[in-house]
A and B are shown apart, each in its own frame.
Chain A
Amino acid sequence: MWKTILRRFLVMIPQLFVLSLLIFVMAQFMPGDPFTGAITPDTDPARIEELREKAGLNDPWYEQYGRWIGNALQGDFGKSYTYKMEVSTLIGERALNTFWLSLVSVILLYIIAIPLGVLAGRYHNSALDKTIILYSFITYAIPTFVLALVFLYFFGYKLNWFPTGGSVDVQYDPGTMGYFWSKLYHMLLPAITYAILGTTSIIQFLRSEIIDAKAQDYVRTARSKGIPMRKVYTRHIFRNSLLPIAAFLGFTITGLLGGSIFIETIFSFPGMGQLFISSIGSRDYSVITALVMLFGFLTLLGSLLSDIIMSIVDPRIRIE
């Protein structure tokens, strides 16, 4: 299997390469550049032209691309024009925020989805099942931004239960317990929103797994041996049905990345999604290209992860 994983990684390289070419060319076509925003009556257009020249923005795109890819291979994605710092440092800060937010979201998501899916499957066709199905349909149908806005307003502004922006309070020193709690507190509302919106597929998947499992021979056998139903569930059905859920992790990660653009923008959470939207506005090419590359890489990683988990869980599936 290690061989196949390695091969998958090798296949990624040309994919990422084409992606980098695509995004780089597209960035070239974007109107304006980071210096457009610096125009005031007091700025000297000649100076701006000089800065463009210095930054290499006047070179043909393939030269710029060559320079960029060369550096990128060494982990240097250039400097952010707006933030005046290494792109890697800048994204690093935000990526960490997004990472923690995603982690909390995934945990909450499983906490919500697993019991609901199990209950719906166990009491298949009951009123409870129908309610859960309705819930999962509604969360599927409701647009991310609507739920996020309503939650922000209701829990953030109206009830004042959660902070309405930022990632941590400035008073706390990194490393202390207060800092940790403050971070978690800031993440909670966006994470809950994320989690609620992401539950649909897991609930439905788990539900149909359990319905299927109930009809399986091993369950019948266990039942006929007189093992109480509760035990059958915890010992057999639950374990068998739950494993494939792990495979969803990869897709969940991909989903979270797309959703982060909405959630982080609405909750003013300084993560990668928000950075992307603001970089589009400020024409911060180096950040845009680096972010797209990173998201592309993570998407690939997500699907690879899914395949790996799947093949561990179910040896019948071989990753090719």
Chain B
Amino acid sequence: MMTKKKWAVASSLALSSMLVLAACNDEENETTTPEEDGGSTEENADVGADFGTDTTNAEDAIEGGTLKVALVAESPFQGIFSWTLYEDGYDADIMEFSTNAIFETDGDFLATNDGIASMEVDEEAKVVTIKIREDVKWSDGEPLKIEDLMLPYEIIGHADYTGVRYDADFKNIVGAEEYNAGTAETISGIKKVDETTMTIEVKEISPALASIGAGIWGYAEPSHILKDIPVAELVENDAVRVNPVTLGPFKINKIVPGESVEFVKNEHYWKGEPKLDSVVLKVVSASSIAVAMQNGEYDLAKGFSATAYDQIETLENIEILSREELYYSYLGFKLGKFDTTAGKVVMDDSMKMANKDLRKAMGYALNIEEVSDVYYYGLRSRANSFIPPVFSSFHNPDLPGYTYDPDKAIELLDAAGYVDTDGDGLREDPNGQPLEIKLATMAGDDIAEQITQFWLQNWADVGLNVTLATGRSIEFNAFYDKVQADDPEIDIFMGAWGTGTNPSPMGLYSNDAPFNFSRFATDESQELLVAIDSPEAFDADFRAEKLLAWEELMAEEAPVIPMNNRLELEPVNKRVKNYSIDYTTDLGLEDVELTAEEPIK
């Protein structure tokens, strides 16, 4: 139970910024609807294809009303309502109602000029210019100032800031390190030009700037409120916890800590007054959510798990929306070590998994299709690439990936010299030594345990003796501890990444990335990775081409084999109108309406 939640936290840290960015978007890029591309097309039983991203309710709406939202979570939310300070994915889900990112994004999650702010990158001068609209107001009626955009940088860069966001990306801003060290009063690279314009000078130009990365921050903080609060005390201050001033369609009215939040509409919302009067959000446990939806207790369920699909499948009073998640799970092979003193990945040819045919065979042996079908109702599908299908310009649906093909696996193993020499039904390695491969998996719910058993069986079917490292699936924290420390007990491991809105694989697969857990790094792959993030890669075609080349290399070398992409489900009561979870939708939360006084039962 808990481990599931923790994983949600891990992935939604990256996810959540995207969720809000995508919440309200303008006309262009209607051409790409994520559901239709790649990945899932090979699956016949893909129920996900039956669902839309928008509600279909066309009845007449009532005046105002209260939207009842369930936040599916096993533990209370933390209640840090500031994008600069929050850490928990649940807080991000809550802030979705009360905040508004300052940039809008397109289908590839690149910033457009339609939001509260617009951005221009001067590649020569390495300067990003950010301009804000006039007449945007905070929920307390104060006008939005350019200082409000500068404040988050001053908080994140501050020596007393304890969050994870003061990172390599942030240090890309000129003067950030000096400010953090206390040798400078301000961040020298950030300058106010006039009342609506600021500039940010960066050290390196990268295409990630357009994904609102590489140091650029996508949210504003109300400087008229927070300015005088010391950074160290911010996170416990009422201005963050109890009555945050926000830019979104709704503002927080009342909070029961950890349990529920009541929002009322923000009449100062820059896109116009929301149609609903209020929103009530409550934490609901995963086990009760299906019944609660059935009983008409809630209008929406955020964070609904696909494995519970069978519980809502037949409900008459709800409509199920779905969209692709920025997520892939993978099977990784340990091919070396991380040299912590040099900060480099060092490959080692003597590792048990160093034979690439063995790795490929292990990929072909997995019957991911059947698992997706039976346990995930087709809501997860075999991933063919490291770029989730959502990134329409970068995801390549034509990559073959590794599909279930035990015969091919057997063939590969035979050819590579992995044969059964002692007649126990299990293959020995090419030197005739017994081969025991140790798999590390994360502990999850009971379904996850059964799936792990199923994988072991799959491998046993092609004659490979795979056992669980430590004898059981490993609890989330310990799993990442061991995998990152290159524990010698682990030969292969199964993990997952929430990819965030920047499709660059650099942080996960480069030769100096500690998160390059498989410890695979060749000159060839490094070159491609550098090219993917080079200034030339502002050209999307160039970037896509390099990405493809890199993906083909990864498929050939198979240091990591992508396993699943997944769809996110959101059950919505049929009284809800104009609600959409499409990443590129025009509909915002301010447009949501209700067509009945109470949720339909």
Q: Which A residues contact B (CB, under 8 angstroms)?
A: 30-33, 35-48, 51, 54-55, 82-86, 93, 152, 156-157, 160, 164-171, 173, 268, 270, 274, 277-278, 280-283
Tell yes or no: B258 within 8 A of A by CB.
yes
Residues of B within 8 A of A274 (CB): 75-76
CB pair A281 B6 closer than 8 Å? yes
- Bound complex: CA of A32 vs CA of B169, how far in Å? 25
24 A-B residue pairings within 8 Å (CB atoms):
A33-B477, A37-B10, A37-B477, A38-B10, A40-B13, A41-B500, A42-B502, A45-B514, A46-B168, A47-B167, A48-B164, A82-B78, A85-B236, A166-B260, A166-B282, A168-B259, A170-B260, A170-B280, A170-B282, A270-B259, A278-B2, A278-B76, A280-B2, A281-B5
Tell yes or no: B480 within 8 A of A by CB.
yes
A270 with B476, Cβ < 8 A, contacts A41-B497, A41-B500 known: no
- Bound complex: CA of A227 vs CA of B258, how far in Å? 59
Tell yes or no: B261 within 8 A of A by CB.
yes
Residues of B within 8 A of A38 (CB): 9-10, 13, 87, 164
Residue of chain A at shortest CB distance from B507: A41
Question: A38-B164, A84-B236, A170-B282 are known contacts; what are 12 more A-B pairs with Cβ within 8 Å?
Answer: A31-B475, A37-B9, A42-B213, A47-B168, A82-B87, A83-B78, A84-B235, A85-B236, A166-B283, A169-B256, A274-B76, A281-B2
Residue of chain B at shortest CB distance from A50: B166
Residues of A within 8 A of B2 (CB): 277-278, 280-282
CB pair B261 A40 closer than 8 Å? no
Q: Chain B contact residues (Cβ within 8 angstroms of A): what range? A: 35 or more
- Bound complex: CA of A223 vs CA of B234, how far in Å? 74
Residues of A within 8 A of B236 (CB): 84-86
**A93 in complex: contacting residue of B1, B74, B166, B257, CB < 8 Å:** B257
- Which positions 385-434 of chain B face chain A at CB distance < 8 Å? none
Tell yes or no: B515 within 8 A of A by CB.
yes
**Could you say which of A51, A86, A171 has the most chain B C-beta atoms within 10 Å of its C-beta?**
A171
**8 pairs of A and B residues whose beta carbons are closest in the complex:** A32-B477, A281-B2, A44-B167, A31-B478, A278-B75, A170-B260, A157-B291, A40-B14
- Bound complex: CA of A45 vs CA of B284, how far in Å? 33
Residues of A within 8 A of B5 (CB): 278, 281
- Which positions 149-175 of chain B face chain A at CB distance < 8 Å? 162, 164, 166-169
**Could you say which of B5, B280, B288 has the most chain A C-beta atoms within 10 Å of its C-beta?**
B288
- Bound complex: CA of A141 vs CA of B164, how far in Å? 49
**A42 in complex: contacting residue of B1, B14, B258, B288, CB < 8 Å:** B14
Tell yes or no: B460 within 8 A of A by CB.
no
Residue of chain A at shortest CB distance from B501: A42
Residues of B within 8 A of A82 (CB): 78, 87-88
- Bound complex: CA of A170 vs CA of B281, how far in Å? 9
Tell yes or no: B255 within 8 A of A by CB.
yes
A31 with B259, Cβ < 8 A, contacts A41-B499, A41-B515 known: no
Determine how close the nearest CB of chain A comes to the CB of B219; give it in whole angstroms.
Answer: 15
Residues of B within 8 A of A35 (CB): 164
Residues of B within 8 A of A166 (CB): 256, 259-260, 282-283
**B254 in complex: contacting residue of A44, A157, A170, A268, CB < 8 Å:** A170
Residues of B within 8 A of A41 (CB): 14, 497-500, 507-508, 515
Residues of B within 8 A of A47 (CB): 164, 166-168
Residues of B within 8 A of A280 (CB): 2
Residue of chain B at shortest CB distance from A31: B478
- Bound complex: CA of A7 vs CA of B13, how far in Å? 52
CB pair A170 B256 closer than 8 Å? yes
CB pair B164 A31 closer than 8 Å? no
A165 with B477, Cβ < 8 A, contacts A40-B10, A54-B162, A170-B254 known: no
**B262 in complex: contacting residue of A48, A51, A165, A171, CB < 8 Å:** A171
- Bound complex: CA of A30 vs CA of B475, how far in Å? 11
- Which positions 438-467 of chain B face chain A at CB distance < 8 Å? none
CB pair A44 B169 closer than 8 Å? yes
Tell yes or no: B113 within 8 A of A by CB.
no
A84 with B478, Cβ < 8 A, contacts A168-B256, A280-B2 known: no
CB pair A32 B164 closer than 8 Å? no
Determine how close the nearest CB of chain A comes to the CB of B576; give it in whole angstroms.
Answer: 20
- Bound complex: CA of A48 vs CA of B166, how far in Å? 10
CB pair A171 B78 closer than 8 Å? no
Residues of A within 8 A of B14 (CB): 40-42
Residue of chain B at shortest CB distance from A274: B75
Tell yes or no: B285 within 8 A of A by CB.
yes
CB pair B167 A268 closer than 8 Å? no
Residues of A within 8 A of B235 (CB): 84-85
Tell yes or no: B56 within 8 A of A by CB.
no
**Could you say which of B3, B259, B291 has the most chain A C-beta atoms within 10 Å of its C-beta?**
B259
Residues of A within 8 A of B85 (CB): 84
- Bound complex: CA of A83 vs CA of B166, how far in Å? 19
Residues of B within 8 A of A32 (CB): 475-478, 480-481
Tell yes or no: B11 within 8 A of A by CB.
yes
CB pair B13 A167 closer than 8 Å? no
Residues of B within 8 A of A51 (CB): 162, 164
Residues of A within 8 A of B164 (CB): 35, 38, 43-44, 47-48, 51
Tell yes or no: B292 within 8 A of A by CB.
yes
Q: Mark B69-97, 1 if CB is under 8 A from A, else 0.
A: 00000111011100001011000000000
- Bound complex: CA of A35 vs CA of B164, how far in Å? 9
**Could you say which of A39, A157, A171 has the most chain B C-beta atoms within 10 Å of its C-beta?**
A39
- Bound complex: CA of A274 vs CA of B76, how far in Å? 9
- Which positions 286-327 of chain B face chain A at CB distance < 8 Å? 288, 291-292, 295
Q: Mark B45-78, 1 if CB is under 8 A from A, else 0.
A: 0000000000000000000000000000011101
**A84 in complex: contacting residue of B80, B288, B499, CB < 8 Å:** B80
Residues of A within 8 A of B507 (CB): 41-42
Residue of chain A at shortest CB distance from B259: A166
A84 with B515, Cβ < 8 A, contacts A167-B259, A268-B285 known: no
CB pair A42 B500 closer than 8 Å? yes
